[in-house]
Amino acid sequence: MDLDFNQDDIDFRNEVRDFIKVSYTQEMKDELARSKNGSASKELHIKWQKSLYEKGWIAPNWPEEHGGPGFTTTQKYIFETEMAHAGAPRTIPFGLSMVAPVLMEFGTEEQKKKYLPDILSTKVWWCQGYSEPGSGSDLASLQCKAEDKGDHYLVNGTKIWTTLAQHADMIFCLVRTSKTEKPQEGISFLLIDMKSPGIDVRPLITLDQSPSPYQEVNQVFFEDVKVPKENLVGEENKGWTYAKYLLEFERGNSYSPSLYRGIQKLKDIARDTSTGNGKYLINDMDFINKLNQCEIEVQALEFVELRIFSALSAGQRVGPESSILKCRGTELQQKIQELSVEAIGYWSSPFVYDTFANINEPSIGPEYAMTITPSYLNGRKTTIYAGSNEIQRNIISKAVLGL
Amino acid sequence: MDFSFSEEQTLLRNTIQSFIQDNYDFDKRREIIQSEEGMSKDNWKQLAELGLLGVPFSENDGGLEFGSVETMIVAEEFGKGLVVEPYIQTVVTCGGFLRRASEAQRQEYLPSLISGDEIWAFAYAEPQGRFNLADIKVSASKNGNDYTLNGDKCVVSAAPWAQKLIVSARTSGDQSDKEGISLFIVDKSTDGVSTRDYKTVDGSMASEISFENVKLNSSSLIGEEGDAYALIELVADETIAALCAEAIGAMSVLNETTVEYCKTRKQFGQPIGKFQVLQHRMVDMFMQYEQSVSMTYMVNLKLEEEDVERSKAASGAKVQICNAAKFIGQSAVQLHGGMGMTDELNVGHYFKRLSMIETQLGNADHHLKKYSLAS
């Protein structure tokens, strides 16, 4: 057991830093720094992901046979840390880290050939069709149905909280293919072309009030949408198994690198925030103790993550322990956002219209303050989405503790 | 000892409740806050007609001569209705200064305030001062009988709607001295006053205000030159007492809405309110609310006490309200799930207002320190 980097690791770290210096341009930095909800324009995301793709680093968790870079655990750690430290955009997860692992595990050879390369190159943008208005925490109660019409399915129903569906080319959906006593047993996993006739995407405006077309989530309506049979993943009515497999990837990523970045930004704010009489917030022990409490908890999470991820090889899933990461990662993220609002004091109050703040007019108060309240408000979603943290605790209680 | 409301107080509460019922449903509020004006002049006129703009002023000054409990009732009901019209800013804060101003000033300014013809805003915060009311760089230098005002005030709540401002300025001393602070009445249309107006996260409005060689007559000075700090603290505490009342109004709506939602929203074949983990969270929200109500009564009943007692009461109440506002606001969103994240439901709007109240006139950390220093 040791924490040391060898010379190869140090060389790799320099390579990552050089890559970021060249590929993460000032223009991209400016755009992302102004984003109220953490997303940038579709063009920026695609440009960034293509540069990662060309370098061979777009999918650090994929096995090499499908185009993964074959990083060691240490390299993965270095990669994520450097990316987060630089504040680089996150890759859009729906294709790369959600549907792709499912296809690798349960898809046919044709499906792998058809979809995986386009996910890797960001030629196709995916979104996720899981929740429905009546089926949130109780996902298995979902009603969106796919009827067998011989050579195709006919899909009717709706999906909600569909992140960035307005940009998507494809959606992976959980649909009901049969009514069984156990609702889990009648669900199938279907891939649907977003250009199919009968699909309607409507924006949902959330607390940060990012206006359409920059909304983060949508409701997607399906009316007599024809989906070819070959778009079924795995077996009919076995979709619940694949859905759960996917959720462990959705929840089981590392949070600590970006949390450290959040703490770093918060320290910068505290250094810049005058508290009167020539003093600054960074000298205020009450505030600094809270900030450092957060930093210590982030470090605890970091080492949980390192222990878990170093036990896995590429393409493996975390298992129910992913719920620990999801709970602690999201709750710490919210805590940092909360402290950020606290730090900026009265500058938390001005409302920012544009999704990309400060484009049309100079900021009110310091520039960095403009995105802090919107991020805090929007960040409340993180303990709700991907299975609320109440559900995550139920999972840990049942699957880990055996209660 | 008696915690019951008088018949007159109950009548006052009923009056406001029916005003809100008639004029302030959620859709109407949305229209108001999305309009360019950002508030409703009609509503303001109606509040004047109901006599509400005269609540704290003496009968001699044309008011109702009510006390802090009546102001608390008004603010609490406005909190339930999420009213954006600047009642606290104009009547409680600026009114708090004006009812202690000279006879001549009261006669000059109170009639148009009480009649709803003029809105007032208190410009106190400065970019470097954070929550320290004494940290003032805006200067008022005296030449003969006049003063010249220079400097910047930030995030001045309700200023876009105001015709008149009360401005704290330094007439002597160093940046954060408690001595040497004076209060001035400034007509917003005076030469040298410039504003940048904007909407705020909670649906209200505020301004950045610059004063550049603004000439003021000495008749615009409230009280004695250099001696305003104690009055500022007093009025800030009165404002905190009203903000606490507004907050408990907002909290009560969030708690009721959340309990109702959890009784009707079904998952896993039963209302989600049947799950113990959510029950306990709602019980905690309820307990936080009850403690907040109690601390709000406490501070409103102690506003007449001498300075240290009053200040501790205000800081103690603000700490409780800040913590409860955060817990109840965040929990209400969480328990509403994805729907709690939407702009469409009222939950988020109450959450935002409560979040802003946390900061107004000092957050929990600030008041905990203030309380400790006074103890």
Secondary structure (DSSP) of B46-108: HHHHTTGGGTTS-GGGTS----HHHHHHHHHHHHHHT--S-HIIIIIIIHHHHTTS-HHHHHH
Q: Distances in Å between the alpha carbon of A239 and those of A145, A174, A248?
A: 13, 7, 15
- Is B42 found in the same domain as B135? no
**What share of chain A has pLDDT > 90, as a percent?**
82
pLDDT one-digit tens code per residue, A23-70:
999 999 998 988 888 888 999 999 999 999 999 999 998 999 999 999
Are the Cβ atoms of B199 and A351 closer than 8 angstroms? Answer: yes
- Is B357 found in the same domain as B241? yes
Indicate the residue type of A141: S
- The CATH code of the domain that includes B14 is 1.10.540.10
Q: Which domain holds residue B108?
A: 7-119
Average pLDDT over residues A201-207: 97
- Is B316 found in the same domain as B289? yes
Are the Cβ atoms of B340 and A380 closer than 8 angstroms? Answer: yes
- Is B131 found in the same domain as B90? no
Return the residue of B nearest to A372 by Cα.
B201
Residue A388 CA to its chain's centroid (Å): 14
- Is B200 found in the same domain as B321? no
In a domain, B209, yes or no: yes
Q: Could you tell me if B81 and B24 are in contact, meaning their C-beta atoms sit under 8 angstroms apart?
A: yes
**What share of chain B has pLDDT > 70, as a percent?**
100
Q: Which helix (H) or strand (E) holds B296?
A: helix B276-301
Domains in chain B, number: 3
- Is B351 found in the same domain as B219? no
Choose the final residue of a domain: B68, B99, B119.
B119
In a domain, B244, yes or no: yes
Q: Both tokens of residue B326?
A: 């955060």
CA–CA separation, B363 vs B284, rounded Å?
21
Which of A215, A218, A272, A349 should one mutate to test binding to chain B, selecting the residue with the greatest count of B CBs within 10 A?
A349
CA–CA separation, B116 vs B46, rounded Å?
9
Instruction: Give A135's DSSP letter.
Output: B
- Is B152 found in the same domain as B110? no
Instruction: Give B173's DSSP letter.
Output: S
In a domain, B95, yes or no: yes
CA–CA separation, B69 vs B66, rounded Å?
8
Query: Which residues from A are below 8 Å from B175, CB to CB?
Result: 276-278
Return the residue of B nearest to A137 by Cα.
B267
Are the Cβ atoms of A342 and B131 closer than 8 angstroms? Answer: no
Total residues belonging to chain A: 403
How distant is the Cα of A197 from the closest Cα of chain B, in angstroms? 28
Work out how many CB contacts closer than 8 A connect A with B.
138
Query: Which residues from A are below 8 Å from B267, CB to CB?
Result: 135-138, 141
In a domain, B1, yes or no: no
- Is B342 found in the same domain as B237? yes
Strand ranges, E, within A104-151: 126-129, 145-148
- The CATH code of the domain that includes B181 is 2.40.110.10
Are the Cβ atoms of B359 and A385 closer than 8 angstroms? Answer: no
Secondary structure (DSSP) of A173-239: EEEE----SSGGGGEEEEEEETTSTTEEEEEE-BTT-PPTTS-SEEEEEEEEEEEEGGGEESSTT-H
CA–CA separation, A51 vs A163, rounded Å?
23
CA–CA separation, A43 vs A356, rounded Å?
14
Are the Cβ atoms of A275 and B132 closer than 8 angstroms? Answer: yes
Of the candidates A342, A349, A384, the beta carbon closest to that of B338 is on A384
Instruction: Using the predicted structure, report yes or no on whether residue A314 has a pLDDT greater than 70.
Output: no
Q: Both tokens of residue B308?
A: 């240290």
pLDDT one-digit tens code per residue, A253-295:
789 999 999 999 999 999 999 999 899 999 999 999 999 999 9
Choose the final residue of a domain: B119, B136, B160.
B119
Q: Could you tell me if A120 and A48 are in contact, meaning their C-beta atoms sit under 8 angstroms apart?
A: no
Q: Which residues pair with A180 in a beta bridge?
A: none
Average predicted confidence (pLDDT) for chain A: 94
Q: A25's torsion region: left (phi>0), alpha (psi -120 to 50) or beta? A: beta
- Per-window interface: B 131-190 vs A, CB < 8 A: 131-132, 134-135, 154-155, 175-176
Of the candidates A138, A277, A377, the beta carbon closest to that of B268 is on A138
- Closest CA relative to residue B312, chosen from B325, B326, B295: B295
Number of H helices, E strands in chain A: 13, 10
Are the Cβ atoms of B175 and A380 closer than 8 angstroms? Answer: no
Ordered structural domains, chain A, with CATH: 7-91 (1.10.540.10), 125-237 (2.40.110.10), 252-400 (1.20.140.10)
- The CATH code of the domain that includes B282 is 1.20.140.10
> CA angle, corner B174, sides to B173 and B175, nearest 5?
130
Query: Which residues from A are below 8 Å from B207, CB to CB?
Result: none
How distant is the Cα of A342 from the closest Cα of chain B, in angstroms? 8
Query: Which residues from A are below 8 Å from B368, CB to CB?
Result: 286
Q: What is the CA radius of gyration of chain A?
A: 22
Are the Cβ atoms of B129 and A276 closer than 8 angstroms? Answer: yes
Return the residue of A nearest to B364 by Cα.
A342
Q: Which residues pair with A390 in a beta bridge?
A: none
Q: Could you tell me if B254 and B328 are in contact, meaning their C-beta atoms sit under 8 angstroms apart?
A: yes
- Is B221 found in the same domain as B173? yes
Residue keyed to tokens 């606490």: B244
Q: Which helix (H) or strand (E) holds B141?
A: strand B139-143
Q: Which residues lie closer than 8 Å to B146 by C-beta, 6 or more apart?
A: B215, B216, B217, B218
Q: Both tokens of residue B173?
A: 């001393």
Q: Could you tell me if B239 and B361 are in contact, meaning their C-beta atoms sit under 8 angstroms apart?
A: yes
How distant is the Cα of B65 from the closest Cα of chain A, in angstroms? 33
Q: Could you tell me if A342 and A287 are in contact, meaning their C-beta atoms sit under 8 angstroms apart?
A: yes
Are the Cβ atoms of A348 and B356 closer than 8 angstroms? Answer: yes
- Residue ranges of chain B whose pLDDT lies below 50: none
pLDDT interval class at A318 (50, 70, 90): confident
Q: Is A126 helix (H, G, I), strand (E, B) or coil?
A: strand
CA–CA separation, B186 vs B122, rounded Å?
10
Are the Cβ atoms of A350 and B326 closer than 8 angstroms? Answer: no
The answer, yes or no, to whether the previous bond of A213 is cis (omega within 30 of 0) is yes
In a domain, B2, yes or no: no
- Is B370 found in the same domain as B247? yes
Q: Both tokens of residue A102?
A: 């499912």
Return the residue of A nearest to B266 by Cα.
A134
pLDDT one-digit tens code per residue, A353-386:
888 877 777 899 999 999 999 999 999 999 999 9
Q: Name the pTM for this structure.
A: 0.96
- Is B112 found in the same domain as B30? yes
Q: Given CB atoms, is B284 within the 8 Å cutoff of chain A?
A: no
Q: Is A399 helix (H, G, I), strand (E, B) or coil?
A: helix
Lowest mean pLDDT among A239-243, A251-255, A259-263, A303-307: A251-255
- Is B243 found in the same domain as B223? no
Choose the final residue of a domain: B205, B228, B251.
B228
In a domain, B311, yes or no: yes
- Per-window interface: B 247-266 vs A, CB < 8 A: 266
Q: Given CB atoms, is B333 within the 8 Å cutoff of chain A?
A: yes
In a domain, B246, yes or no: yes
Are the Cβ atoms of B155 and A384 closer than 8 angstroms? Answer: no
Query: Which residues from B are below 8 Å from A342, CB to CB?
Result: 363, 365
